[in-house]
Amino acid sequence: MSRLWVLCIVVVLVSGVLQAQVLREFPVCVQEGISSAQADISGDIVVWSDSRNATGILSDDLYGKNLATGQEFLVCSAPYAQTLPAISGDIVVWEDNRNWTTDWSDIYGRNLSTGEELLISTGSHFEMKPDVSGNIVVWEDNRNFAATYTDIYGKNLSTGEEFLICGATGDQRKPAICGNYVVWEDNRTSNTDIYCKNLLTGEEFPICAAEGLQKTPAISGNLVVWEDNRSPVAYQIHGYDISTGQEFVISPGLDSRHDPAVSGDLVVWEDNRNYSTSGANDIFGVDLSTGEEFYVCIADNFQYSPAVDGDIVVWTDQRDSVLNDIYGAEVPEPVTLSLLVVGAVALLKRKRKSCGIRRRRK
């Protein structure tokens, strides 16, 4: 994804972060009386769960929007609730409750280029919290609950093959996938840790098994990020480079950070640093290529559950009411931030390496 802009500059200090005001924020879905949440993004396509057609509980549908054309479209309006969408290229997957009276939640999908709906996994048990990268879909699955609790399963959409990714004793939850790597929360010990599996080689290995809780992993390329409370003060954002084996702190602080998402060098998260004054959470980010931390959105009320692909961040936003909207913002090239801070006017062209997915939802 690339864009060309001409911008002028204002520099401000907010929450201890000095930055050029060059993030272009925009509404994705804002409709009075409608609650929209759980957004994900791949390229120009944003998908989310939406209550506009709700007739009671468990009745959310899935909608999408092409940011390049502005066209909004229906993804799925089956009976009961469709939630927690994830997207990679033309493939959208989600947790589906249409059969909840007989087999609880299932995993469904849709090919946006053909319009075909896909039944990915169903059974008399829970399938939950899917993610997708290319033709591989992964999810939480409790079919073996009596023996091993919740496991991680996957399916190759090209071959139709369904396979077990991790069936260790204890819960494995919240999988995320990029290419051949799948990461997840793992409770095989007394703590919650982060584990990974290389689907190409079959190798499974821990990303982080430190003291405390490591939760909500996300992955892009070789970079894994998560929220970590080994610090006695608050949850921080940590990262791990699979190619080097190096772990590092991305965002420390005295106020908790949660639910990170990652695309290339760009990491974003839900941030509590302003909670004592605003009573709400914001969205912050960092560009790992420069180490520069910045705010994405500090609007009134709560902003949470960010997702990112390339230079576009989307999130759930409560600025206008107790109902949820979907907002987005464009993050400029790091070098441009430096140019603009000294007062220059610059032409911006940005293209970030991405897995075509974002990151984790709650």
Q: Is the pLDDT of residue 4 over 80?
A: no
Q: Is the pLDDT of residue 353 over 90?
A: no
> Quick check: is 8 in a domain?
yes
pLDDT tens digits along 323-334: 899 999 999 876
CA dihedral over 317, 306, 26, 74, signed as positive or negative: negative
pLDDT of residue 190: 82
Q: Is the pLDDT of residue 180 over 50?
A: yes
Instruction: Give the tokens for residue 182.
Output: 């799948």
> Quick check: is 282 in a domain?
yes
> Quick check: is 323 in a domain?
yes
Q: Is the pLDDT of residue 138 over 60?
A: yes
> Quick check: is 32 in a domain?
yes
The span from the CA of 179 to the CA of 184, in Å, is: 15
Q: What angle do CA 202, 128, 60 make, to 5 degrees?
A: 145
In total, the chain counts a number of residues equal to: 362
Closest by CA to 96, choosing from 86, 114, 84, 87, is 84
> Quick check: is 356 in a domain?
no
H or E element that contains 148: helix 145-148
User: What is the mean predicted confidence (pLDDT) over 124-132?
Assistant: 93
pLDDT of residue 32: 78
> Quick check: is 357 in a domain?
no
Q: Which residue has the higher pLDDT, 348 or 102?
A: 102
pLDDT tens digits along 249-280: 999 988 999 999 999 999 999 999 998 888 89
Give the CATH number for residue 109.
2.120.10.30
DSSP states along 6-72: EE---EEEETTEEEES--EEEEEE--TT--EEEEEEETTEEEEEE-TT--SSS--EEEEEETTT--E
Query: In this structure, which amino acid lies at residue 176?
Result: A
Query: In this structure, which amino acid lies at residue 216?
Result: T
pLDDT tens digits along 150-177: 999 999 999 999 999 999 999 999 999 9
Q: Is the pLDDT of residue 244 over 80?
A: yes
What 143-151 contacts at long range (C-beta under 8 Å, 24+ apart), as own/partner pairs, is 149/187, 150/126
pLDDT of residue 9: 34
pLDDT of residue 342: 34
Q: Is the pLDDT of residue 352 over 70?
A: no
Q: Is the pLDDT of residue 346 over 70?
A: no
H or E element that contains 133: strand 127-133
Give the confidence band of 343 by pLDDT, cuts at 50, 70, 90: very low
User: What is the mean predicted confidence (pLDDT) over 217-239?
Assistant: 95
Bridge partners, 198 (sequence order): 181
Give the chain's domain count: 1
Q: For residue 29, how many other CB atoms are within 10 A of its CB?
A: 23
The span from the CA of 157 to the CA of 239, in Å, is: 30
> Quick check: is 355 in a domain?
no
pLDDT tens digits along 19-49: 544 589 999 999 877 788 899 999 999 999 9
Q: Is the pLDDT of residue 239 over 90?
A: yes
Closest by CA to 239, choosing from 229, 231, 248, is 248
> Quick check: is 359 in a domain?
no
Q: Is the pLDDT of residue 231 over 50?
A: yes
- Domain range for 41 is 4-349
Q: Is the pLDDT of residue 286 over 60?
A: yes
Q: What percent of the chain has pLDDT over 90?
A: 72
